[in-house]
Chain A
Amino acid sequence: MSEPVLAVENLSIAFASGRTTRRAVHDLSFAVDRGETLAIVGESGCGKSITALSLLGLVPPPGRIDGGRVRLEGRDLAALSEAELRKVRGARIAMIFQEPMTALNPVLTIGEQIMEAILEHERVGRAAARDRAIALLERVHIPDARRRFSDFPHRLSGGMRQRVMIAMALALSPAVLVADEPTTALDVTIQAQILDLMDELKRESGTAVVLITHDLGVVAQHADRVLVMYAGRKVEERATADLFARPLHPYTRGLIAARPRLGSGRFGRQRLVEIPGTVPSLSGRPSGCAFAPRCALAEVACTVAVPPLVAAGGGSVACLRSGDVHVPEHRREALDA
């Protein structure tokens, strides 16, 4: 078997403030293959965004990786110098963000910014870089790319800006694309365009995609595998179809059941299944399973020690009661039908 393009091994990320150190990510491991989309899902504060940044060696201080490692195409990122890391970023692993305006330079035209990315990493002439930038804008389906080349970012709609970000991220044909909530700020019809574009480019180029999102609908339609995080830990990782057909962690099941289902169209309504309480803060995480205080299935053992990840359902789950997690009702109907 070939080595995965990206491998995260026992990664821990800590934030120090004063004399206390709090761990935002605990002992996280996963791998992504060429041409595969792995979705990392979870709610605010689960550690998914800081994990995304760590993949590019961009954990902001006072945060730091205090255990484990990130291997990109076999190379340990921690072993690279800052100069080497800069070369890897963009060229081998690139990232797109929720709000492209925060990542685009407002005083450069979009074409110049893509050219800059190319010129930074490759020994090509300006004319060649310009042609490639225009080709990239065309590849992300920006209409009238030659003219749009000279537009400033603020002239573009949110959807067009995200296309520019994708063009820039793909300029150097990276092996891995990390997308942190890439469509959360977009309208639903534009979101559909951008997600389809990402799928199309992945098929063409074989780029591995790490998709960070809170939206299970996006996951269901665009990811091959899903990693569910809660309070800094992986609680479940499964093939997408398996996860939705039969979630094994009570939190995953809760997330699926808590969303109103479009087109339920049934006579009479039922209450949504609530997950009581809220996500614990970084400072208030309980011992044992962090989900136990909100979990209907929790028993004493769940509060004693963090449940280990065990192989299950073609993937893995960290729950002592996963055998008692039931299929959400509407999924059962879908399976019966």
Chain B
Amino acid sequence: MDNKIKIRNADKFYGKKQALKNVTLTINQGMFGLLGRNGAGKTTLMKCLAALHGIEGGSITVCGIPISEAREIRSITGYLPQDFSMYPSMTVQECLDYLGLLSQTEKPLREKRIKMLLKRVNLYEQRNKKFGALSGGMKRRLGIAQALLHDPQVLIVDEPTAGLDPEERIRFRNLLCEVAEERIVILSTHIVGDIEAACEKIAIMNDGQILWQGTVPELLQNASGKVFTINVNKKYLPLIKEKFIVTGMLAQNEFTTVRIISDNMPALQGIAAARPNVEDAYMYCLYSSGCDVSGGKE
């Protein structure tokens, strides 16, 4: 069976606003990261992959099935929306049971998998707690459990780590990595650290378009020789910010170490080339594609 997601020239409109512009992308097994600002079109693309939205132009196939076959798509994909929410009066166990029922998983198998997943996401003790009483992290873990309930070939998770504390975020990423060993996992995020830690391949989206796609080392390679650090007096900071793309600042007394992006090494005193990190590389990618990044990153 075709174990790939193929997106070819996909267009999507909300009224007059074009949310996806000629998107072409191939996603293989493993963990795939979709990086972009808020409103870049990540959520739209993911909803299209989960057959929640149709597209107006182009084609999308998930494991060989076109997304117009919504029912087929939904039986092989698991979807975790950006804000995972469920009926507040249901308990954890009831939520999973109902969602499993809607996925048309047979009862014995359903029960077995619910028990297994609850243990795996560390919610077994909380299984009789009402959804409305769960913390943000617990909800997210329940969300991943429900997405895996029918053992999908494709897992689509939208901004899964937003709003989690650092410890929870790491645990959650690790869980996703385990899951990705046997299926396609697509993860969207605007948090660069998530991508760095977990994804083999990534795509950067902006304004409905795919700006760049490849591996993390390739992204870093792109930005090599374009990132510099400089130690400046605080009073020059506004000037630096005006002239360059600043990706990081570290204040020490009246001096600040600033990371900047530039195509050529600027003729400034004390400037030094630096090894780009993923954040720099991402900013460079946006910058080199002509996006307005002068307002700083989000």
* B and A form one assembly: no
